[in-house]
């Protein structure tokens, strides 16, 4: 699966057009042949909100993926660094909605929408919430959906591999994906709803739970969602720290978070000078990023925040047919944006 900043990347000397500074190349092992097949769906996609796949090669022992690399950072890192104003959360979501609408129009489901798979190209002049929108908001970034390693074509069924092993990142997966049922555009909308919540809450979904089996069971059987803090607290007391879920199907971010939680429980002492230096670097990074996410409008009102919350809740209802469609979500987001600027 292609990661925004994969290990072992070899950068090309070719200089693509702005806003890209480099190309990145990833070598995929033969065992991940299905990932290479899924990435091939990106070859026919060309959209301003999708990272471009330039070349895809396969051999007996490995595969080669060459993609454009935006100047910027993953949305996950930005959310970890900054509390984004409502206006920018809406603009970011509109970019992702535009990318998903285009994918769905080409009969492709992404199936792994999450902040680590959204690249934010910084320093890119852009205005408005979309190509056809009449709302004009100046900003210096554009968001691009990447990592199609879990994507499928509509109607392809879950013939990823074994039907019992779901693709994607469990904490963002829809109930039908967890059950290995037939997937539709609504499955991507569910994952986008979880991502919208994360932009607001700035927490990993189901952050109090370490066991993925517990999360999957509660999401499917009891409609657990990441904003149910009371239920999460109860489950955290009853849930085992370790369980049998195969971590090869867990995102890198989840593994890192899990290790971080373990380290915190050990209560290890840290060198004060190291802590000060680290905090200073974080502050500098935060200040640099803040330049791109200043809001000319006042912070979103309680009413606008409530409307935003209602939208992501409408994206993650259990019944796929009852979720907001991408066009409905676009209109509702533009309404919030219009009243926030």
| CATH numbers and ranges of domains, the chain | 72-340 (1.10.510.10)
* CB count in 10 Å sphere of residue 250: 16
Confidence of residue 254 (pLDDT cuts 50, 70, 90): very low
pLDDT at position 108 is 94
Higher per-residue confidence, 321 vs 131: 321
Strand order in the sheet with 62-70: 10-11, 20-29, 62-70, 53-58
Average pLDDT score, the chain:
79
First-to-last C-alpha distance (Å) of the chain: 38
Return d(Cα 156, Cα 236) in angstroms, integer: 37
SS3 201: helix
Higher per-residue confidence, 265 vs 277: 277
Higher per-residue confidence, 199 vs 20: 199
Share of the chain above pLDDT 70, in %: 70
Mean pLDDT of 13-27: 48
Exposure string (b/e) for 270-295, b if CB count within 10 Å is 16 or more?
Answer: eeeeeeeeeeeeeeebeeebeebbee
Range in 137-141, 282-286, 315-319 with the lowest mean pLDDT: 282-286
SS3 113: coil
Confidence of residue 289 (pLDDT cuts 50, 70, 90): confident
Higher per-residue confidence, 97 vs 29: 97
What are 166-186's pLDDT values in tens digits?
A: 578 999 999 999 999 999 999
pLDDT at position 119 is 94
pLDDT at position 212 is 92
pLDDT at position 56 is 74
pLDDT at position 325 is 97
Higher per-residue confidence, 53 vs 295: 53
pLDDT at position 80 is 94
Give the contacts of 279 (CB within 8 A, at least 6 positions apart): none
Higher per-residue confidence, 126 vs 208: 208
Cα radius of gyration rounded to whole Å, the chain: 20
Give the contacts of 202 (CB within 8 A, at least 6 positions apart): 79, 80, 83
pLDDT at position 166 is 58
Q: What is the pTM of this model?
A: 0.79
Q: Which of 44, 157, 49, 55 is nearest to 111 (CA)?
A: 157
Mean pLDDT of 229-246: 76
Confidence of residue 266 (pLDDT cuts 50, 70, 90): very low
Share of the chain above pLDDT 90, in %: 49
pLDDT at position 27 is 58
pLDDT at position 237 is 87
Give the contacts of 42 (CB within 8 A, at least 6 positions apart): 50, 51, 53, 148, 151
């Amino acid at each position: 699966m292609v990661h925004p900043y994969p290990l072992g990347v070899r950068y090309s000397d070719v200089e693509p057009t702005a806003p890209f500074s480099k190309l990145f190349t990833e070598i995929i092992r033969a065992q991940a042949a299905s990932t290479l097949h899924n990435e091939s769906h990106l070859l026919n996609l060309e959209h301003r909100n999708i990272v471009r796949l330039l070349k895809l090669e396969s051999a007996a022992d490995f595969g080669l993926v060459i993609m454009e690399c935006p100047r910027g950072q993953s949305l996950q890192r930005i959310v970890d660094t900054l509390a984004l104003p409502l206006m920018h959360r809406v603009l970011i979501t509109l970019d992702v909605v535009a990318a998903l609408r285009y994918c769905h129009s080409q009969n492709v489901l992404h199936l792994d929408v999450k902040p680590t798979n959204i690249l934010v190209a910084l320093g890119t002049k852009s205005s408005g919430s979309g190509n056809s929108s009449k709302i004009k908001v100046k900003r210096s970034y554009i968001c691009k959906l990447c990592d199609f390693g879990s994507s499928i074509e509509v109607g392809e069924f879950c013939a990823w591999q074994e039907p019992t092993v779901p693709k994607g990142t469990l904490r963002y997966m829809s109930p039908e994906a967890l059950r290995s049922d037939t997937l539709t555009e609504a499955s991507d909308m569910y994952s986008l709803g979880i991502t919208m919540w994360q932009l607001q809450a700035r927490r990993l979904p189901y952050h109090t739970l370490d066991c993925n089996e517990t999360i999957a069971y509660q999401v499917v059987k009891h409609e657990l969602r990441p904003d149910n803090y009371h239920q999460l607290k109860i489950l955290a007391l009853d849930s085992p720290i370790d369980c049998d879920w195969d971590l090869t199907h867990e995102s890198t971010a989840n593994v890192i978070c899990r290790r971080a939680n373990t380290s915190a429980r050990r209560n290890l002492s840290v060198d004060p000078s190291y802590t000060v230096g680290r905090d200073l670097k974080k502050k500098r990074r935060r200040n640099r990023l803040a330049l791109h996410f200043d809001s000319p409008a006042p912070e979103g009102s309680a009413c606008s925040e409530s409307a935003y919350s209602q939208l992501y809740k409408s994206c993650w209802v259990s019944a796929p047919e009852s979720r907001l469609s991408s066009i409905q979500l676009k209109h509702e987001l533009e309404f919030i944006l219009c009243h926030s600027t």
